[in-house]
Amino acid sequence: MSNRPPSISIKEISSAVDKAVKVASEKHKVKFAPELTINPGLIMGRWLLEDIKVSQAEQIAGEIAQSATAGFAGAGAAAADARAASPFRPVVLGIGGHVICGFWPGPEWSVRE
């Protein structure tokens, strides 16, 4: 038995996010930028290319997080175990006139003096 923590590849994350964003985009009739955004420790998701209400952005982020988490079920045992232990948490980030809908990848951590 290995003490190595489970890992998830960027390819697995990208694939899960692509599928989740496609479903949310079609359901809510909104457009997203094609690039996956990964800001370590902050958010994984896509830039939203149109203005929508915050409540709708939160709903979309929730659906993306849920779909991406479920997308790891077929991505191998280690990836599925990692997500089951720490499911993605939905996040909407607004910065510089742009909005990202996605999820916070976890696990939680804090810095103390």
* CA-wise closest residue to 44 among 65, 27, 63, 60: 65
Domain that holds residue 46: 10-104
Question: Residue 3 to residues 6, 21, 23, 37: CA-CA distances in angstroms?
Answer: 9, 34, 36, 30
pTM of the shown model: 0.63
pLDDT tens digits for range 52-108: 888 999 999 999 888 888 776 555 555 555 555 557 889 898 877 788 888 887 665
Residue 47 maps to a domain: yes
Number of domains the chain contains = 1
Residue 2 maps to a domain: no
Residue 111 maps to a domain: no
Average pLDDT over residues 25-33: 92
